[in-house]
Structure 1
Amino acid sequence: MHDDVRAELAAVLPPEALVTDPDVVASYAHDMAGFSDAGTAALVVRPTSVEEVQHVMRTATRFRVPVVPQGARTGLSGGANAVDGCIVLSLAAMDRILEIDPVERVAVVEPGVVNAVLSRAVAEQGLSYPPDPSSWEQCTIGGNIGTGAGGLCCVKYGVTAEYVLGLDVVLADGRLLSTGRRTAKGVAGYDLTRLFVGSEGTLGVVVRAVLALRPAPRPQLTLVAEFPSAAAAGAAVCAVMESGHTPSLLELMDATTLRAVNAMARMGLPESTAALLLAGYDSADPAADLAALAELCTAAGATEVVPAEDPAESEMLLQARRLALPALEKVSTASMIDDVCVPRGKLADMLDGVAAIAERFDLTIGVCAHAGDGNTHPIVCFDAQDPDETRRARESFDEIMALGLALGGTITGEHGVGLLKKDWLARELGPLGVELQRGVKAVFDPLGLLNPGKML
């Protein structure tokens, strides 16, 4: 990077916001995705104000330097990976909760606020922020907005996009755009707020968000149901949804995932079952709702249904589901997590198809899923030091995405596209879809400086 760029940045930014040490800069090179190349950044900027972000973008535009926005780098698609010669713009230090309004039921936050920190802060006022990705203890609100993140409670409460009411966004040329509203209703103009949600930092840099809140839910009770086959588990999911039930969570783990969680945490989960369904209710009478759901599971072929006795036991079961990804990561030296969402009625076909792919490629592939919305996470485990096994892992990953599309699904339900699924996005959207999305990108970022090479 030219010395003039560093000098221009240093003229406004405080010394602690500018990181040039090569070893430290290298630590910001990539997120948690496998099979996603990362370039070498020129430097890292850690702003603490909107004005500093604007200065970075004005400087980048003046000198035609690419900028890669980042949050906590917990992403799983390579969307936060550096490109050669770029400025990495880490928003992690912009971590203030600016306002919590219990009357309007909104929170106003900076992008570096950690999801769990916000959740605990609003809980103190009897409110909740429902989106809860599995990485909620580390991931940031800005990153959640960038990827359109989901979580375990999506089946009842929805995903990030449904809670973002308004945004302040620094555009590629440094101008500050405000979108949306903080009122309960509002339909003025095109919905630019939704456009930025899921855009992975390719259209602008989110520096402030107005988020909708809900009243705090009642304590949740859960049950687990064991099934002898994916077909039986899939039938139970369909029966639950068709009957009009609204569980607060409906999660699934296959036998491979159960073994991995037991090996890591010694939780005593049943490993003889083909699929374990975890269901929860935070309703006025959760015990009665669970009893009704248990009947549906038994009718679908569950071999055993075990309700939790109290909220503490329910939380233990929920923790087992949250451990699925880290547990499978320990199975081998590397892993790739897929994020394919299919219609609920095709969930069993997806699980059986993944099992067939695992057998064909001689790999360990565990599946956990937000079963209530058909969002599956097949996790491919492989030895990164074995070239042939690495090749098979990559090919199996692609076959899983092809399977998802063939079943009428989508290549990503909540993790985003990034680098990992860029080619697959073009297959899902088709030529016209890609053309129009590139046109949108050109309006907001005509020089192509923001997170170049990602998504499209």
Structure 2
Amino acid sequence: MIMSRIEAPRDDVTGTLVDRLLAGLPSEAVLTDPDVTVSYANDMASFCEAGTPAVVVLPRTVEQVQHVMRTATALRIPVVPQGARTGLSGAANASDGCIVLSLVKMDRILEISPVDRIAVVEPGVVNATLSRAVDEHGLCYPPDPSSWEMCTIGGNIGTASGGLCCVKYGVTAEYVLGLDVVLADGRLMSTGRRTAKGVAGYDLTRLLVGSEGSLGIVVRAVLALKPRPPQQLVLAAEFGSARAACDAVCRIMEGGHVPSLLELMDRTTVKAVNALAHMGLPETTEALLLAAFDTHDPAADLAAVGALCEAAGATQVVPAEDAAESELLLQARRLSLTALEAVKGTTMIDDVCVPRSRLGDMLDGIERVAEKYALTIGVCAHAGDGNTHPTVCFDATDPDESRRARESFDEIMALGLELGGTITGEHGVGVLKKEWLAREIGPVGVEMQRAVKAAFDPLGILNPGKVF
């Protein structure tokens, strides 16, 4: 394997490494204090090993990133790229003796073009910052992960992240038109385009989106924008079972409706959000479905969807009266994962996506897994995409409960594959799901993906130990 070529550097090598890095970086961009560098060791995933970095670098320019990669290649030192470290798969976790390459200081919005409907940004730009900036031009950048106030565009590209609005507007990959990427040996490569159309050569841009920093370092991105839609209105529908809520989802999609958001929160999640934020959500419900429309007549669309929810067995359907009430409901959904973490102190957040037609089977299966392992497992889901986030709540100080949590996590992934789904809809593979990736894509798929990795990174220094 490629990764076997990398060894943790010795102390003398570390000294040489720092000296070489300082030859092309300002001193404040090179962090060596162990009390500081340890804080860059991992992202937000549970059960993912993390090593001790030799050094953390925070470049501000493309040339500085190139210098880091040339140094790493010369010394055969692994490099782990990082953004805001809000990821949930361990993809940003350090390996022993590595250079952590944090891109958060490269945070400039370089261009916003209303005519071409593009933005050109550096990787450290925070998702919400970009959204607010383009909004001033009457435009929007649709991908909106729940962590949008913290996560960076580079991290979104690395993990091919999604968000609440994907049911209508799609995921990050559909908005990345072109990239500037520093390769493992320090060369700079441009991919893609800034035009509305373009099919020249292999689509290396799409290949790099979702590659989790294993093929190159994104230093600039050309992003597609859309006209700012009308203010959306949200409807909340209560159901006596998760199966009934999933039936409503199927009816909505089969009926040709195009909601801007279609989200599900199960009973456990609703109670957790209430406990955390005292929002007064209906705890008597077994499942709460949130549907939104950003059309020119959202009230009419909500009325049609409300009727479908009632036909599927909704016990109550309540459309929001205004934008403020709509935003309150969306805030409840965005708080779901944070609220579930507060239940026991630690969570394992799964990211299994199944065909919409099997969503009810998925939720029923998760409930059986929770009973089997005597665990609290809350589910929030991008229901319109079939993308579920089963969240296992457990006490990390209890070895038996931790074991059961990991086993339940794996069983949920197996269930997703059994239902014709995928092990990750938007969080990526990282460290957490390497074994499951091999099961999903098969031995030939693994062989071909490793061949791609070797072509981009023959020394195996880019984010080793991730994905494969």
Q: TM-score, normalised by structure 2?
A: 0.97
1: distance between equivalents of 2:109 and 2:103?
Answer: 14
The DSSP-based 3-state class of the residue aligned with 1:30 is: coil
**Residue identity (%):** 76
- Do structure 1's residue 68 and structure 2's residue 80 form an aligned pair? yes
2: distance between equivalents of 1:153 and 1:9?
Answer: 41
2: distance between equivalents of 1:196 and 1:72?
Answer: 19
Task: Determine the structure 2 residue equivalent to 1:308.
Answer: 320
Mean Cα displacement is larger for which, 268-277 or 363-372? 268-277
Q: Which ranges in structure 2 are unaligned for 5 or more consecutive residues?
A: 1-8
Task: Determine the structure 2 residue equivalent to 1:402.
Answer: 414
Question: Which among 295, 307, 311 is matched to residue 299 of structure 1?
Answer: 311
2: distance between equivalents of 1:74 and 1:52?
Answer: 24
Task: Determine the structure 1 residue equivalent to 2:32.
Answer: 20
Give every structure 1 segment of 4 or more consecutive aligned residues whose post-TM-superposition deviation is greater than 2 Å: none
2: distance between equivalents of 1:60 and 1:148?
Answer: 26
- Do structure 1's residue 258 and structure 2's residue 270 form an aligned pair? yes
Question: Which among 167, 181, 186 is matched to residue 169 of structure 1?
Answer: 181
Task: Determine the structure 2 residue equivalent to 1:5.
Answer: 17
Amino acid at match of 1:64: R
- Do structure 1's residue 206 and structure 2's residue 224 form an aligned pair? no
- Do structure 1's residue 81 and structure 2's residue 93 form an aligned pair? yes
Task: Determine the structure 2 residue equivalent to 1:336.
Answer: 348
Q: CA deviation at 1:292?
A: 0.3
Equivalent runs, 1:436-455 vs 2, <5 Å: 436-455=448-467
2: distance between equivalents of 1:213 and 1:428?
Answer: 33
The DSSP-based 3-state class of the residue aligned with 1:330 is: helix
Task: Determine the structure 2 residue equivalent to 1:229.
Answer: 241
- Do structure 1's residue 366 and structure 2's residue 378 form an aligned pair? yes
2: distance between equivalents of 1:4 and 1:365?
Answer: 48
Amino acid at match of 2:169: Y
Measured against aligned partners, the alpha-carbon deviations of 1:106-158 in whole angstroms (never above 9, x if no partner) come to: 00000000000000000001000000000000000000000000000000000
1: distance between equivalents of 2:299 and 2:338?
Answer: 31
Task: Determine the structure 2 residue equivalent to 1:275.
Answer: 287
2: distance between equivalents of 1:378 and 1:231?
Answer: 15
Question: Which among 84, 99, 116 is matched to residue 111 of structure 2?
Answer: 99
Measured against aligned partners, the alpha-carbon deviations of 1:228-287 in whole angstroms (never above 9, x if no partner) come to: 112211110000000100000000000000000000000010111111100000001000
2: distance between equivalents of 1:157 and 1:62?
Answer: 43
2: distance between equivalents of 1:380 and 1:239?
Answer: 29
Question: Which among 401, 422, 446 is matched to residue 389 of structure 1?
Answer: 401
The DSSP-based 3-state class of the residue aligned with 2:96 is: coil
The DSSP-based 3-state class of the residue aligned with 1:108 is: strand
Q: Which ranges in structure 1 are unaligned for 5 or more consecutive residues?
A: none
2: distance between equivalents of 1:430 and 1:11?
Answer: 45
Equivalent runs, 1:116-127 vs 2, <5 Å: 116-127=128-139
Amino acid at match of 1:96: R
Measured against aligned partners, the alpha-carbon deviations of 1:355-385 in whole angstroms (never above 9, x if no partner) come to: 1100110000000000000000000000001
Task: Determine the structure 1 residue equivalent to 2:433.
Answer: 421
Q: CA deviation at 1:425?
A: 0.2
Amino acid at match of 2:253: M
RMSD: 0.5
2: distance between equivalents of 1:310 and 1:144?
Answer: 31
Question: Which among 157, 171, 177 is matched to residue 159 of structure 1?
Answer: 171
Equivalent runs, 1:101-140 vs 2, <5 Å: 101-140=113-152
2: distance between equivalents of 1:26 and 1:444?
Answer: 29
Measured against aligned partners, the alpha-carbon deviations of 1:408-435 in whole angstroms (never above 9, x if no partner) come to: 0000000000000000000001000000
1: distance between equivalents of 2:262 and 2:242?
Answer: 15
Task: Determine the structure 1 residue equivalent to 2:200.
Answer: 188
1: distance between equivalents of 2:435 and 2:377?
Answer: 22
2: distance between equivalents of 1:74 and 1:355?
Answer: 27
Question: Which among 346, 350, 354 is matched to residue 362 of structure 2?
Answer: 350
Task: Determine the structure 1 residue equivalent to 2:161.
Answer: 149
Amino acid at match of 1:134: S
The DSSP-based 3-state class of the residue aligned with 1:5 is: helix
Figure out how many residues of one structure are paired with residues of the other and give that number: 456
Q: CA deviation at 1:169?
A: 0.2
Measured against aligned partners, the alpha-carbon deviations of 1:92-114 in whole angstroms (never above 9, x if no partner) come to: 00000000000000000000000
Amino acid at match of 2:62: V
1: distance between equivalents of 2:136 and 2:411?
Answer: 46
The DSSP-based 3-state class of the residue aligned with 1:303 is: strand
Amino acid at match of 1:71: G
Question: Which among 233, 245, 253 is matched to residue 257 of structure 2?
Answer: 245
Q: TM-score, normalised by structure 1?
A: 1.00
2: distance between equivalents of 1:118 and 1:93?
Answer: 15
The DSSP-based 3-state class of the residue aligned with 1:37 is: coil
Amino acid at match of 2:99: I
Q: CA deviation at 1:12?
A: 1.0
Q: CA deviation at 1:333?
A: 2.1
